[in-house]
Amino acid sequence: MEGLLAGEAGSPARSERLAELAATCTGRDNSERVLLILRGFDAMMRGENAEEIVEVCDRALVNGRLAPGLGWTDSEWGVELLLMLASSYAYTDRLDRAESLYNEALLAYDTAGWSGGHLALAHAYVGLGHRRRGRLEAAETSLRESLRLAERVGRGLPLYWTATCNLVDTLLARGHVDEAWEMAERHGFAPPYPSTVVLPDPRSVRGRLLLAVGRTKDGVNELEAAEKAAAARGHHHPVHVFCAADLARALATEDPVRAARLSVDLRRRAERLGTDTAIGEALRVAAALETGQRAVRLAAQAVTYLESSPCQYEHAAARVEYGILARSARDLERGLALARSCGADALAERAAQELGTGVGPR
């Protein structure tokens, strides 16, 4: 388990051995279930096939629920394992299962009267579930509560990083860039990074933040560092570690050849994972690097995939981008409605401005 959580170089041999061991497990006892959870999480972080990851994770459950002895307040195995299980679902587009587990944790700790680190983590991961769904205002509320509790436990702990990273990511999605920067500055969201795994990848979030505030060179450097760190760990999940997507966009003008290469690699990783979210996001990047009808076709494909995704903020962004490229008022209006329902203020404003210019037949 330390090998999965620590910030060390990844070992393909370790992952292969874990896969071999898990292949023989049916989930007949908690020792097997723990091994299946570890395998599912490792496979998720490595960006393996989502359907296979979900099948492994499902074997760790009993009739779709946590097994006796593996509950949120049980002490034998620890909360980290269950968060790994839930997050494996969250990043394979099975958000219904992830959110059920996150909310179950919050209820368990509230009921038990636990008000420290466990409750802070539960609020953070409930916030992560909201963020992935595209419920950005609800995500911000949960994450602010998580950070309030985490402050009482102590800065620098993994739970503190989880709350801060997700809050910065959520504020950026909402378009509240100045607030995101102020939050990062106030709470020390900057290198050195923790040795434990944080979801989403904090280097990627920090790089996105730097780009958003106009520090382009620093942002590119941070995203490049994120790429190298993820490669060293063997972490190739294109949605959890999204640095390649932002890096491709940032380099589109100054180094289009490298940007195109990043886009192709991103598409390959997305298709390996096979989720609607990953493929749709890769297509959004590809569309941003193209012009003319090629860009329109790729943007349309991105909308098709993301419309089927549970991640509605990404769907809203794709819909607005397609509406702009295709000069489609209907898609801009739908994108505007989606953005508003998500609480994505800057995206909604962009769509409204485009509609205000009289794009396409109303």
Q: What is the pLDDT of residue 2?
A: 44
Over residues 128-156, mean pLDDT: 96
Does the pLDDT at position 325 exceed 50?
yes
Q: How confident is the model at residue 166 (pLDDT cuts 50, 70, 90)?
A: very high
Does the pLDDT at position 359 exceed 70?
no
Does the pLDDT at position 76 exceed 60?
yes
Characterize 130-169 residue by residue with b for buried, 16 or more Cβ atoms within 10 angstroms of its Cβ, and e for exposed: bbbbbbbebbbbbbbbbbebbeebeeebbbbbbbbbbbbb
Q: How far apart are CA 133 and CA 108, in angstroms?
A: 22
- Compare 46 and 359 and report the one with higher pLDDT: 46
Q: Is 214 exposed, middle or buried (0-12, 13-18, 19+ CB in 10 A)?
A: exposed
CB 6 within 8 A of CB 196: yes
Over residues 94-119, mean pLDDT: 96
Residue owning tokens 């009289």 = 358
Q: How confident is the model at residue 9 (pLDDT cuts 50, 70, 90)?
A: low
pTM passes above 0.75? yes
Q: How confident is the model at residue 10 (pLDDT cuts 50, 70, 90)?
A: low
Does the pLDDT at position 4 exceed 90?
no
Does the pLDDT at position 58 exceed 60?
yes
Does the pLDDT at position 336 exceed 70?
yes
- As a whole number, the mean pLDDT across the chain is 94
- Three-state SS for the chain is CHHHHCCCCCCHHHHHHHHHHHHCCCCCCHHHHHHHHHHHHHHHHHCCCHHHHHHHHHHCCECCECCCCCCCCCCCCCHHHHHHHHHHHHCCCCHHHHHHHHHHHHHHHHHHCCCCHHHHHHHHHHHHHHHHHCCHHHHHHHHHHHHHHHHHHCCCCHHHHHHHHHHHHHHHHHCCHHHHHHHHHHCCCCCCCCCCCCCCCHHHHHHHHHHHCCCHHHHHHHHHHHHHHHHHHCCCCCCCCCHHHHHHHHCCCCCHHHHHHHHHHHHHHHHHHCCHHHHHHHHHHHHHCCCHHHHHHHHHHHHHHHHCCCCHHHHHHHHHHHHHHHCCHHHHHHHHHHHHHHCCHHHHHHHHHHHHCCCCCC
Name the class of domain 115-193.
mainly alpha
> 309: which residues sit within 8 A by CB, 6+ positions away?
93, 275, 276, 277, 280, 315
Q: How confident is the model at residue 193 (pLDDT cuts 50, 70, 90)?
A: very high
Distances (CA, A) of 348 to 110, 207, 228, 246, 308: 36, 23, 34, 21, 21
> 116: which residues sit within 8 A by CB, 6+ positions away?
149, 152, 153
Q: What is the pLDDT of residue 75?
A: 86
Does the pLDDT at position 362 exceed 50?
no
Q: What is the pLDDT of residue 8?
A: 54
CB 280 within 8 A of CB 318: yes
Comparing 69-73, 151-155, 264-268, 287-291, which segment has the lowest mean pLDDT?
151-155
Compute how many other C-beta atoms are within 10 angstroms of the C-beta atom of residue 69: 12
Compute how many other C-beta atoms are within 10 angstroms of the C-beta atom of residue 124: 30
Query: Per the structure block, which two tokens stand in for 244?
Result: 């390649």
Q: How far apart are CA 355 and CA 362, in angstroms?
A: 9
Over residues 158-171, mean pLDDT: 96
Q: What is the pLDDT of residue 361?
A: 39
CB 139 within 8 A of CB 130: yes
Over residues 177-183, mean pLDDT: 98
Residues paired with 13 in a beta bridge: none
Q: Is 212 exposed, middle or buried (0-12, 13-18, 19+ CB in 10 A)?
A: buried
Does the pLDDT at position 79 exceed 80?
yes
Q: How far apart are CA 159 and CA 155, in angstroms?
A: 9
Q: What is the pLDDT of residue 358?
A: 54
Question: Tell me: the pLDDT tens digits for 228-277?
Answer: 999 999 999 999 999 999 999 999 999 999 999 999 999 999 999 999 99
